[in-house]
């Protein structure tokens, strides 16, 4: 697929008037979520205008928050599929609320379609699309240059969003669901405060009050080491191990025992951090020696 690369603030800002002149565009991101390095990172912005593809490279040295803001605040309608995590990342990392999102997952779910984008396109547009989805979902989008295969995969995610919206809009109108769709759309595209990561630990809801306190502090301790070494947190200490440690009356001895399974590169730093976390959790939980 041919596309125009926007790899500087100047090129993005030059493209903005043309984008603002359009009624709608299709948009999607490729991101890094603690898979190859620590943290959440915006790696690629794919745009389809209906006639051409544009790609913004947020990792380019000449692209700053200034250029990204110029695009995110354009007035044109931005058609997305499942925009929540993308919008949340932009709001968290740049403090920007993306203007005028239309998330087609909202009307799709309202009409009873709960599959992924590929299945939705195949069912509603009669397409027979196939891509190496699993392979490219775990690709390292931080690396440059991006391969032709990766770029084809990324652009395919925006190729049919505009026509898909037209079909869904017609179906929503046919069923008289315009008002319900508008209400649910507003809720879906409003960025919400980020949920603390420890609340996403497996079995969090089943933990007792004190167990949650220990899990929280152990999670924070693990993340500090992951950030220090710039590695995904799971490489330092598995999330299931955090829950297990928090669930069984954690003690210095149990922490020391758990550290034997940790990579030697991180072991001493994590052990020290976990001991501090234990002390803070003890204090917060009201435990006294």
pTM summary value: 0.91
Using DSSP, state whether 90 is helix, strand or coil: helix
d(CA 135, CA 140) in angstroms, rounded, equals 10
Q: What is the pLDDT along the chain (289 residues), one digit of tens a residue?
A: 899 999 999 999 999 999 999 999 999 999 999 999 999 999 999 999 999 999 999 999 999 999 999 999 999 999 999 999 999 999 999 999 999 999 999 999 999 999 899 999 999 998 876 655 556 768 999 999 999 999 999 999 999 999 999 999 999 999 999 999 999 999 999 887 788 999 999 999 999 999 999 999 999 999 999 999 999 999 999 999 999 999 988 999 999 999 999 999 999 999 999 999 999 999 999 864 4
CA nearest to 58, candidates 147, 142, 137: 142
Pairing between β-strand 40-48 and β-strand 24-33 as defined by DSSP bridges:
antiparallel
SS3 of the chain: helix, strand, coil, percent, to 5: 55, 10, 35
pLDDT of residue 286: 84
pLDDT of residue 289: 43
Of the CA atoms within 13 Å of residue 18, those in its CB half-sphere come to: 12
**Whose structure tokens read 């079995």?**
203
Enumerate residues 6+ apart whose C-beta is below 8 A from 189: 83, 87, 101, 102, 103
Q: Tell me whether residue 243 is exposed, middle or buried, using C-beta atoms within 10 angstroms of its C-beta: 0 to 12, 13 to 18, 19 or more.
A: buried
pLDDT of residue 134: 54
Q: In 193-229, which positions are buried (b, 16+ CB within 10 angstroms) versus exposed (e)?
A: eeeeebeebeeeeebeebbbbbbbbbbbbbbbbbeeb
pLDDT of residue 193: 79
Cβ–Cβ < 8 Å for 239, 201: yes
DSSP class of residue 29 equals: E
Q: Dihedral through CA 68, CA 72, CA 74, CA 78, nearest 10?
A: 140
Enumerate residues 6+ apart whose C-beta is below 8 A from 11: 5
Enumerate residues 6+ apart whose C-beta is below 8 A from 36: 140, 142, 232
Enumerate residues 6+ apart whose C-beta is below 8 A from 185: 102, 103, 106, 107
d(CA 54, CA 72) in angstroms, rounded, equals 14
Structural domains of the chain in order of their starting residue, each with its CATH number: 4-189 (3.30.420.10), 197-285 (1.10.150.80)
């Amino acid at each position: 697929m041919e596309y125009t690369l926007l790899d500087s603030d100047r090129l993005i800002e030059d493209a903005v008037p043309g984008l603002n002149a359009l009624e709608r565009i299709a948009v999607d991101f490729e991101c890094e979520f603690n898979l190859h390095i620590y943290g959440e990172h915006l790696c690629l912005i794919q745009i389809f205008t209906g006639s051409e593809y544009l790609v913004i490279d947020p990792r380019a040295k000449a692209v700053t928050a200034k250029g990204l803001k110029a695009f995110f605040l354009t007035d044109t309608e931005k058609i997305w599929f499942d925009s929540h995590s993308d919008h949340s990342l932009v709001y968290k990392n740049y403090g920007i609320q993306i203007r005028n999102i239309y998330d087609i997952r909202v009307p799709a779910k309202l009409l009873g379609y709960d599959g992924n984008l590929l299945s939705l396109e195949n069912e509603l547009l009669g397409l027979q699309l196939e891509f190496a989805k699993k392979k490219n979902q775990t690709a390292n989008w931080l690396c440059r240059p991006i391969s032709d295969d990766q770029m084809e995969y990324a652009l395919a995610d925006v190729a049919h969003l505009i026509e898909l919206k037209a079909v869904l809009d017609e179906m929503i109108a046919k069923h008289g669901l315009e008002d319900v769709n508008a209400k649910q759309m507003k809720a879906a595209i409003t960025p919400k405060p980020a949920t603390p990561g420890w609340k996403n630990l497996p079995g969090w809801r089943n933990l007792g009050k004190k167990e949650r306190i220990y899990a929280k502090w152990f999670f924070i301790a693990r993340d500090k080491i992951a950030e220090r070494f710039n590695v995904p947190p799971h490489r330092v200490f598995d999330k299931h191990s955090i829950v297990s440690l928090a669930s069984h009356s954690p003690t210095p001895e149990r922490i020391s025992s758990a550290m034997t399974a940790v990579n030697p590169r991180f072991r001493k730093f994590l052990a020290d951090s976990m001991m501090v976390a234990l002390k803070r959790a003890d204090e917060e939980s009201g435990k006294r020696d």
